[in-house]
């Protein structure tokens, strides 16, 4: 009898899987999309030219610009390089929370 149950169980697990195919709420995924981060940079900081967007772990110099509340969140930020009135700037938007952002001119 065991000889029948084991192959059936293996086939069932192989073809049905153990997790959801929806990747939007998977652990480790950003809560903020790249499009949302760009929109915030354009609306809040009036960023008119976007040169580059990357999702990265902040280095020590960039971490110094965070508030104590922001330091409690993950240090993974969207870094949006661009221009405001022909002046190069970088806008940082948290991948966890849209309300956590800052700019380096």
Dig out the tokens for 100 from the structure: 């956590």
Query: Total structural domains in the chain?
Result: 1
Residue 18 belongs to some domain of the structure: no
Q: What is the pLDDT of residues 27-56, one digit of tens each?
A: 678 899 999 999 999 999 999 999 999 999
Q: How far apart are CA 93 and CA 85, in angstroms?
A: 20
Q: Which residues of the chain have pLDDT under 50?
A: none
Q: Residue 74 sits in which domain range? A: 31-104
Q: What pLDDT sits at residue 14?
A: 72
Residues β-bridged to residue 79: 54, 92
Spatial neighbors of 88 by CB under 8 A, at least 6 apart, are 81, 82
Residue 94 belongs to some domain of the structure: yes
Question: Coil, strand, or helix at residue 12?
Answer: helix
Cβ-contact 43, 73 below 8 angstroms: no
């Amino acid at each position: 009898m065991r000889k029948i149950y084991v192959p059936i169980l293996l086939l069932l697990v192989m073809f049905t899987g153990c997790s959801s195919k929806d990747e939007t709420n998977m652990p480790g995924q950003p809560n903020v999309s790249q499009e949302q981060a760009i929109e915030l940079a354009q609306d809040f900081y009036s960023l008119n030219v976007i040169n580059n967007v990357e999702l990265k772990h902040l280095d020590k110099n960039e971490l110094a610009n965070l508030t104590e509340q922001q330091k409690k969140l993950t240090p993974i930020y969207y870094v949006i390089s661009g221009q405001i009135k022909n002046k190069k700037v970088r806008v940082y938007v948290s991948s966890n929370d849209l309300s956590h952002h800052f700019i380096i001119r």
